[in-house]
Structure 1
Amino acid sequence: MAAHIDVTSTPAAAPEPELRTAAGLLARLGQGNITSSAYDTAQLARLRTPHPHRGLHFPETVDWLLAHQHPDGSWGGTIAIPHDRAVCTLAATVALAEADRDQLLAPGSGAVPVARGVAYLARHSAQLRGDPHETVAFEMIFPTLLDQAQSLRLALPYADYAWIHDLKQRKLALFPTGSRHLASTLAHSLESLDDRLSPEELTGLAGTSGSIGCSPSSTAYAHTVRPTRDGLRFLQRTLRETPDGGAPTISPYEVFDRIWVLDNLRRGGLPTAFLRPHIEPLRAIWRDDGIGMAADGIPTDCDDTAVAIKLLRSIGHSVPLEVLRPFESPRGYRTYHFERHPSVSANIHVLNVLTTAPDTHRRQITSILAYLADSRTDSAYWYDKWHASAYYASCRALEVLSEVAPELGRATLEWLLDTRHSDGGWSAFEPFGTCEETAYAVSALIAAAPRYQLSLTTEITQAIAFLRTHQDEPLPELWLGKALYTPQLVVRSAILAALTRHHTSLTTTKGPGA
């Protein structure tokens, strides 16, 4: 929904330049692009046109792969995170090896990239065990790719990866026999099942967009089993909409895009009247079991649902907290059913909602707090399954915990202050700050400072100067899907929220709430 907003007449504490930027973000809700993924681009590169020609269905994807191999022979995000680099490199290597075998590449253009990809995987096989940043469905996808690489006789250290095959079998055991594909997160990674699916089993899985599981790679695989016009159109449209010709790792994701942008701006202090026209559409897509990252084609989850509840309540709509009950577990809340590990950030978002009714949800609140206390690293910070940087979950946790459980958040605040870089920013991976991670830190410090009775003016002022200097620079991929990605509007809104939150904090005696 792209309603016109006259920012000059909008009553708000935020300055006019930030309001205009916010209006620009809101006008693009549901249209924001995410960065291309080598993994998904490789899966589309494996599609062939029908007989008798059997050519590349999307030759531009092969060109993309050849142009985006890193100097060390790998494919993947800007920051070298082992799980991302491994799955992207293996997928790209298999795709190019198949195309080379089928004589679909220019003579001599495939052998060297394939050899460099194989060499990278052989050198880095040991890194996966110690990497806390597991990409989505890695335990499902990677073993299938290994089997395909072996059939291509690629010289990989297969024995080094045997433990991942074990993880796949444990994951498959979580799904009910006979209905494991339907209305489950497994639809997001159908390609991991390889030859286990029949055309009949794919019936009814696609959403209205033509996508299966909000995944270009899953949809591409489904097209090899049961070709459909809608699926092919979805893939064609997806490639057209990415700025560099690659395929994103998630699509569609219009609900996630809307919810997270709006929540960032709400917490940044933008007025309800300014946001209301963009929150209202959530009512139309709300379901009895909550909300998911897209209108259809993927199950609902407690993360999107919890944030949507907060948004809808902010404009006066009563949404029952009981919708979250099916996601309860003995240890906090599951984001999705059948998942192996819970999400820290999802539990924080649920906690933030449940604390609005503490008398009726004391048991659930206690359960989440116990989970958060037990899942900390070094008793101070958290890793999350949806984001590679510890600053994402930890800063969000500090915002909430400083209000509801300040003793639990105190060590996080100390860790945050201790890990600031000399340039005034924060980053878990770089010797200098990134705007995304710094924005999370700024919002957390502004929220926490009054609650811990601290003066953090110097730290916050320097971080704001960092953001204003670097906010227009490219954003590294830090979000964890099947591969690393950046949801551009979501991250830009987090940066903008930090700036507006700072401005608002200067005009009030108490920092804005979470």
Structure 2
Amino acid sequence: MTAAAFAVGTGAQAAVTAAARELLALLQREPAGQVSSSVYETGRLVADAPWLDGHGRRLAYLLARQGADGGWGPTGGYALVPTASAVEALLAELVRADPAGPPAPARPELAAAAARGLATLARRLADGPSMPDTPAADLIVPTLAGRIDAHLSHLDGGYGWPLPSVDRRRVDAVTALLATDRPVPSKLWHAYEVLGPAAAERTEIVPIDGAVGASPAATAAWLGHRRTPERPARAYLDAVVARHGGPVPCCTPITTFERSWTLATLARAGVPVAPPPGLVAELAAALGPDGAATGPGLPTDADTTSVALYALARSGHPVDPASLLRYDLGSHFCTWQGEDGHSVTTNAHALEALGWYARHSRDGAERYAARVTGLAGWLRDAQRPDGRWADRWHASPYYATCSAALALASYAPAQVADAAIDRATDWVLATQRDDGGWGRWSTTAEETAYAVHVLLGVGRPMTTKVRESIHRALAPLCAEHSEHPPLWHDKDLYAPVLIVRAAVLAARQMALAVTDAAHGRASIPVQQGAEQGMIGSA
């Protein structure tokens, strides 16, 4: 890999380093992690847990987040899940109120928002639901559609019903499973709230650290099925609401996920900060014989395992990646056993974890080099004709393209990687927006950061075209951002705040180094890419 210049003494570079140190401190101070609030998850608490503190704030959040078209969430299919959740939640609130009694002050506003949302939902379902590959969407939408129709049968408000029919085959299959003695796959725990009353009898579904499937909605629904109080689950919900002020995220805590991605991103870009030893030790402790999980009650997965392994290795604490092999399908790695489909970014991260160990450990090449080469070929073949990659865990192709291109550049043989990397950089250059940034729907700092990581992190010679592109990217990359749009896949889209911030900071350092070098400022080399053994070491 080529060395990037790091300007000494410039205020911008010093600010990046200081911000990165603050990120590491936040990882320790707030171990649950920082995640954006979710319309879907908040709607489920409005519907299923009106007794929980902050109910009024959650209702206000839903009303404030409704779009001009009457729906919730971004454009297209991504709006289906949050819109269905918000509409069902508002109707549930209206059904709970006594229409014959004195009207609650907010009742007309709730009714108007529900009517607008219902009309939007009906139109989108009538057009044929095109649901992105977000977790449990094929369970969530038909289940909520059924609940909405049930609410409408109790309301005399001229809403119009029933909704257009929705494919219920997956719901029926899960319902049939719940009627047997077969265990419920742990990946379904995260969506317990849509499994129905039959799930209440399943003794294998239990809170872990108070949480069912690391989900406030799942935990609230599980708690609603209990005949006696379950204090750890209630304490978990109270703590989540207190941290987020009413609205809640889809998944919390995300300790291992947040720490792994943040450390790996800073290390990969050569940001000169070292993680505290305690943070590294806690991350190592999260790895078991089956790998690591994002949160309590979620299954261990190859993605979290891979990034944790890579972050530990780059932090000076390498761990044999043997736990990854349980996800090896021969051609590629599954995210978890029984996964429907496959993930490009999971396999890119597996390539990094195996590739680093194969290159740097005494017996690593003998044990893993052949697997690294085979996996690199699979990743290359997953590239789209235009040069990008796309993935099931993120709405933006810039994230997938960044993950795949950097992994191939660092660990794939040149004959496997070179042409794919060239196509990826050409696609990134060709899709830069007029404002200098990148984005699927509009320019975002996060997607701009991934584009910069591709252009500067794959070890290609610096061309005039790349230098000009990076110069144009500085404005959106260095602007102040109060929040980042949700682009990551959970039950609806979310933003893992510190992970995104790490990607932006790392890209900002790389871009500033190019600018400083172009202006002839004094610089020292900071190695980028896989050859750096620890964060901050040259």
Question: TM-score with structure 1 length normalisation?
Answer: 0.86
- Relative distance call for 1:155 and 1:370 in structure 2 (3 A) is farther
Partner of 1:58: 55
Say whether the 8 Å CA contact 1:14–1:269 is kept in structure 2: no
- Between the aligned partners of 1:380 and 1:170, the Cα distance in structure 2 is 38
- Are 1:26 and 2:31 an aligned pair? no
Partner of 2:446: 436
Superposition pairs of residues 398-417 of structure 1, within 5 angstroms? 398-403=405-410, 404=412, 405-417=417-429
Identity of aligned residues (%): 31
- Relative distance call for 1:301 and 1:270 in structure 2 (3 A) is same
- Are 1:221 and 2:228 an aligned pair? no
Task: Report the Cα offset of residue 144 of structure 1.
Answer: 1.4
- Are 1:122 and 2:122 an aligned pair? yes
Superposition pairs of residues 222-261 of structure 1, within 5 angstroms? 222-226=222-226, 227-242=229-244, 245-261=246-262
Task: Report the Cα offset of residue 172 of structure 1.
Answer: 7.9
- Between the aligned partners of 2:116 and 2:122, the Cα distance in structure 1 is 10
Task: Report the Cα offset of residue 485 of structure 1.
Answer: 1.0
CA deviations 1:370-412 (Å, max 9, x no partner) are 4434433335212211111110011221222234212222211
Partner of 1:445: 455
* Higher RCO (CA-CA < 8 Å; seq separation 6+): 2
Partner of 1:95: 89
- Between the aligned partners of 2:394 and 2:439, the Cα distance in structure 1 is 13
- Relative distance call for 1:499 and 1:174 in structure 2 (3 A) is farther
Task: Report the Cα offset of residue 504 of structure 1.
Answer: 5.5
Partner of 2:80: 86
Superposition pairs of residues 499-510 of structure 1, within 5 angstroms? 499-503=508-512, 506=517, 507=523
CA deviations 1:251-294 (Å, max 9, x no partner) are 11121111111111112213464555532321222212111113
- Gaps of at least 5 residues in structure 2 are 1-7, 99-103, 153-158, 359-364, 518-522, 531-538
**SS state at 2:48 partner:** coil
- Relative distance call for 1:331 and 1:111 in structure 2 (3 A) is farther
- Aligned partner of 1:119: which letter? A
- Relative distance call for 1:412 and 1:320 in structure 2 (3 A) is same
- Between the aligned partners of 1:372 and 1:398, the Cα distance in structure 2 is 9
- Are 1:498 and 2:507 an aligned pair? yes
CA deviations 1:421-459 (Å, max 9, x no partner) are 1111101111xx2100001111111112x4366452111
Task: Report the Cα offset of residue 110 of structure 1.
Answer: 3.0
Superposition pairs of residues 72-221 of structure 1, within 5 angstroms? 72-76=69-73, 79-83=74-78, 85-103=79-97, 106=105, 107-125=107-125, 130=130, 133-153=132-152, 155=160, 158-162=163-167, 165-168=168-171, 178-181=181-184, 184-199=186-201, 201-202=202-203, 205-208=206-209, 210-221=210-221
- Between the aligned partners of 1:499 and 1:31, the Cα distance in structure 2 is 26
Task: Report the Cα offset of residue 415 of structure 1.
Answer: 0.8
- Between the aligned partners of 1:310 and 1:175, the Cα distance in structure 2 is 38
Greater Rg by CA: 2
- Relative distance call for 1:120 and 1:367 in structure 2 (3 A) is farther
Question: TM-score with structure 2 length normalisation?
Answer: 0.82
**SS state at 1:270 partner:** coil
- Between the aligned partners of 1:171 and 1:328, the Cα distance in structure 2 is 27
Superposition pairs of residues 358-437 of structure 1, within 5 angstroms? 359-403=366-410, 404=412, 405-430=417-442, 433-437=443-447
Partner of 1:68: 65
* Superposed CA RMSD: 3.1
- Aligned partner of 1:141: which letter? I
- Relative distance call for 1:289 and 1:232 in structure 2 (3 A) is same
Partner of 2:3: none
- Gaps of at least 5 residues in structure 1 are 1-9
- Between the aligned partners of 2:128 and 2:389, the Cα distance in structure 1 is 19
